[in-house]
Amino acid sequence: MLPGESTLEVEVTNVSKHGFWLLLGTEELFLPFSEFPWFKDAPIAKLVNVKRLHEHHLYWPDLDVDLAVESVRHPEKFPLVARAST
């Protein structure tokens, strides 16, 4: 690991036609494509390339998507302000 790289664990553990599961340390969360449309048509290689930059911040560099961990835990508190490109 290079200096400055994140040591916080994050992993995509499963993908279905409805969404995907994200493992944050020991917590597993489901991200439905209906609530997180940016990921729906993403290739698996880009979807699994996720970084946990710090405890409260997730980043998918290949997709240029940033999410607060809280928005994954409680998407109902964070209505979509952007739509996926069609």
Domain-by-domain residue ranges, the chain?
Answer: 10-77
Query: Which candidate, 81, 79, 74, 45, places its Cα nearest to that of 62?
Result: 45
d(CA 75, CA 2): 33
- Per-residue pLDDT band for 1 (boundaries 50, 70, 90) equals very low
Select the more confidently predicted residue: 84 or 1.
84
In the chain, count H helices and then E strands.
2, 6
% of the chain residues with pLDDT over 70:
84
12-46 confidence digits (pLDDT tens) = 999 999 999 999 989 999 999 999 999 999 999 99
The pTM assigned to this predicted structure is 0.80
Architecture of domain 10-77: 2-Layer Sandwich (3.30)
